Chains A and B, each alone.
Chain A
Amino acid sequence: MIRISLMLPSNRPGRAPPTCTRCGRRPSIYYRPYSGERLCSPCLKESIKERVQRTISRFEMFEYNSRIAVGVSGGKDSLNLLHILYEIEADYPEAELIAISIDEGISGYRDEAIEHARKACRTLGVEHLVLSFKELFGFTLDEVVERTGGGGLKPCSYCGVLRRRALNLAALRVEADRLATAHTLDDMAQTALLNLMRGDTRLLASSHPSGKSLPGFVRRVKPYCEVPERESALLAYLKGIEFQSIPCPYAEEGMRSDIRRFLNRMEAKRPGTLYIIYRASLELASSLGVGAEQIGVCSRCGEPTSGSLCRVCQLLMEIGITDKRGGAQ
């Protein structure tokens, strides 16, 4: 008699998850396709924290006494980073953390996220500064979009440039010597591909996670840059961090969205794609050998820039905003 086994092969877990490949004790909850690891919840949390620590060390991001401004949008990635840096900095009593949030003025969307950021900072006892586009530049992003009337650049292009400036101004205001942002591995790979597709090798070189010390700029570092967004989402869920329920109304309009979808498919099909693009972009940036930029001041707002007119002022003038806001006040 032929007996047909209903047992699944040992490498196919069925409904019962295999044991964690890291601790060898607890049942795993997550499979990392790019490394073959199967991780339980505590090991996943620990491995993400270790990855952030390794990134900080490799790129020499902080000093033992750094005053670190963390850009906290209130989304899952920045809240995760805030929690992780809070844990890491507990071992460095002379280091300081300050959370900074930028309210772009996107009706409905940002209010919810900033409330999440406020709550997290209260829980951790971290100082928190919120600055808005309205108070820094005199208008909200919604008003900018209204002015462009759907023509010209996409909202993300304005938002990116203005938020970058706003974060630097906020970091200067809290007298930080580092500005840490929660760019994920996905963000890094998307940006690399985006810059490549636009032929912008200067930007490709300047998005390096270690940042640079330039006059007038707080050094921007990206300690979260090797954490995939999928793992970030799972980490936030496991830690009980609240998720934003409202998507950014402008998010789907940018070229980045097309690249994100493409890369998500590629990563699912060929695990490791995001990391390979990220590593390749670092190598490309160093081999491009972009030298130290000559930093001067913008003739309009007085902020540091490599040209005569900074990008913020160029954008503002394009949409007919002619007063001299947008600099340190």
Chain B
Amino acid sequence: MARVRVRLMGTLRRAIGREEFELSVEPPEVAQVIHRLSEMLGQGGAQFDPENPGAEALILLNGVEISNLEGLRTQVEDGDMMVILPVAHGG
């Protein structure tokens, strides 16, 4: 179990109605945080492709984009900060 801070940018912020919050996830990995966010978004989750969430959004863990780490399998730890940037909207 890890407790991480999540900061949403752009349209995601509005879709979920919160800018920054904490989430406890088990197993402690990025995929689980994204899974929880997808649940929060529900049907309005156009920002995430369930099969490939990284295709529609940039996911930063402590300032590093996750494809530069272990992707969705990257481990998260207590106090980590995840920033999610939707890519497609608002060009």
Contact = CB atoms under 8 A, between A and B. Distances in A.
A31 B67 contact: yes
Contacts of A252: 46
Given A12-B70, A31-B68, A182-B91, A264 B55 contact: yes
Contact of B91 (A14, A17, A229, A268): A229
B68 A38 contact: yes
Contacts of A251: 89
A261 interface: yes
A320 interface: no
B68 A17 contact: yes
B85 A234 contact: yes
A168 to B, nearest CB: 20
Contacts of B74: 14-15
Contacts of B89: 244, 247-248, 251
A264 B69 contact: no
A10 to B, nearest CB: 14
Interface stretch (A45-53, A71-79, A196-204, A292-300): A71-79
A137 interface: no
Nearest to B11: A247
B68 A13 contact: yes
Contacts, number: 105
A187 B88 CA distance: 10
A237 interface: yes
Contacts of B77: 15
A29 B65 contact: yes
A265 B88 CA distance: 13
Nearest to B76: A15
B11 A244 contact: yes
Given A237-B85, A243-B10, A30 B68 contact: yes
Interface in A229-275: 229-230, 232-234, 237, 243-248, 251-252, 260-261, 264-265, 267-269
B49 interface: yes
Nearest to B19: A245
Contact of A243 (B9, B52, B54, B64): B9
Contacts of B67: 30-31, 33
B58 interface: yes
Given A243-B85, A245-B13, A246-B11, A76 B58 contact: no
A113 interface: yes
Given A13-B70, A76-B91, A182-B91, A234 B83 contact: no
Contacts of A15: 61, 69-70, 74-75, 77
A184 interface: yes
A223 to B, nearest CB: 15
20 contacts: A14-B74, A15-B70, A28-B64, A29-B64, A30-B65, A30-B67, A230-B87, A232-B91, A233-B86, A237-B9, A243-B9, A245-B13, A246-B11, A246-B14, A247-B14, A261-B49, A264-B49, A265-B52, A267-B55, A269-B52
Given A30-B67, A230-B87, A247-B89, 19 more contacts: A14-B70, A15-B75, A15-B77, A17-B64, A29-B60, A29-B64, A75-B90, A76-B90, A182-B91, A230-B58, A234-B65, A237-B83, A243-B9, A243-B90, A244-B10, A247-B11, A248-B89, A252-B46, A265-B51
Interface of B: 9-11, 13-14, 46, 49, 51-52, 54-56, 58, 60-61, 63-65, 67-70, 74-75, 77, 83, 85-91
